[in-house]
Structure 1
Amino acid sequence: MKTPLIFDGHNDLLLRLHNGDVSLDDAGVLGGGGRQIDVQKAQTGGFAGGFFAIFIPGGDSLSHDDEMMKDAYDLPLPAMVDWQDAIKVALSQATILIELERRGAVRICRSTADIRAAMKEGRMAAILHMEGAEAIDPEFNTLEVLHAAGLRSLGPVWSRPTLFGHGVPFRFPSSGDTGEGLTPDGIRLIKRCNELRIMIDLSHMNEAGFWDVARISDAPLVATHSNAGALTRHSRNLSDRQLHAIRDSDGIVGLNFAVAFLREDGRMDENTPISRMLDHLDYLIAEVGEDRVGMGSDFDGATVPAEIGTIAGLPALREAMIQRGYDAALMKKLCHENWLRVLGETWGE
């Protein structure tokens, strides 16, 4: 099953290309030689594209899969990244996305009409997203320039702190109540993003920051790649109270495919059945409504269930959704229509 096409809330392909993990040529992303995302796999799996993240790696990549196989863990976070270092990486990754568009692999999208056009053309739709605002200066000059280049979604923090706020650690078992909220500069950033109609992503933000955004923002609340804390007690997942705030704002939650945020034991074990993903989907639908749930895979940035593996494996997810009893209308909403709705509302269309 290649339909409905899946539009996705998060991927880290730009980081893979920036690091040289995969190549930007016919032997890599432009063909079938990517890790979890490439043009050939997109066609095989019915992957419509999604949010392509700019991410600034620190001194510690936080790839501690062995630690995340333990009964409990609390991974040390990298230190804050200086703006002077972050801006170089951010511009490099933005340029990579522009080059992907030049080579016909993606279409950079600034409107839902752009996304639908890309889906019709068979090119991956790409929203330029920033995961962690280390590259944004307090005067917002970088924000203005990147917005002009196509930036339409921004998470003020990844897990480490920034000038703007605090993220959640990789901690299990834990809630997201792990520290302070937005800084004064963070409050200013949220207000400016509202003015520019840049979507604000809450997926890595701690609870205090989440509630600051809920109080300040005039846009729908969005967690691009997060799961249900009631099913997996990981700091990255959302409480019922947070889910209800997203529901009440007519926002959206994107289901994160990363296995540590799906499993009851919080382990980074790829031998996680698709049925566990559907348990989270069912729960999210029950708490926020079927119009406010989408996909937020974290492909090329996470270990996903082996039954899926890459975007070429997305047909297995669709089959499992049908077996779970999801009808055609619900499938279409979850796979892309809910994302298009909330993007249109956020972008003022």
Structure 2
Amino acid sequence: MPEQNRNPQQSGPVIVITGASAGVGRAVVREFAGEGVRIALIARGRDGLEAAAREVREEGGEALVLPLDVADAALVEAAAEKVENTFGPIDIWVNAAFAGVLAPFLETSLEDYERVTKVTYLGQVHGTHAALRRMVPRNRGSVVLVGSALAYRGIPLQSAYCGAKHAIQGFHDSICSELIHSRSKVHVSMVQLPGVNTPQFDWIRTTMPREPKPASPPYQPEVAARAISWAARHRRKTVMLGWPTLQAIWGDRFASPLLDRYLAWTGISGQQDKTPVSPDRRDNLWEPVPGDRGAHGRFDSTAREYTTQFWLSRNRVAVGIGAGLAGLGLLGTLVKGRRR
């Protein structure tokens, strides 16, 4: 849409966030919310979207609630058009929506498998397509793909989700090359997340006897939100968040067969807690679960609120220079010692 659609009284960016009603997406909303910021909120659950919109307005921003399913490309395109008609040109688009199933492959129906793929993979493709159609002609804008350590290392019980995240990673490489070829200033980044303490473990579809849980102590969603916000504003292709993410990615590169065996022994029980699955448990694979679930899951007592890895990643140039200077200083000390 033309630049004159931008409200002259507002100076903040126009941001679209999918999966904005809960979990990481909800934390991203809170991270971006502030005076003058205009945020379009996309998800299926209206209760969570309305609550997120109130939080944006309380921080002095404007919010546009857009209840829709990102698996539907036409709805995503129409939403992007409405955002620009309402707020003006989109500056940042964050793809945080996903769906999952915790079940062995042969216990997952092909309809559920397709559903996970459409939401988790094609949902990000649809969002990126709608964003780039508008950003590329203007030669500005930022798109963030929300990935996972599981984009590189698959684990048992989550083959649909892992396959979708692997697909996003390949899609990201292709899009980056095309933007470089066209000398575009539009940037597409991907943030690879570790396990995060979100409501997903309470509403993911499962065929297992016990309630889902993270395979290792998760991070709080605010940690993920800070990384996503940073990626949206810096021209870093990939942001890997947390030491467990690095361990999974590099472990798979150097010892993939060993990881297969390790996960075969630990990955099934490690993703279930001691609580039996309730017969009346509801999942959100095909329909949203009513109510506002917020950003956090039930693992606050074990969730981590900080990672030194992300600090080192953000400041890697300074850290590299500091390490180099320290090395030179040590070398100088050794040389002087030998001369004596």
Calculate the TM-score normalised by the size of structure 1: 0.32
TM-score by length of 2: 0.33
Name the larger-Rg structure: 2
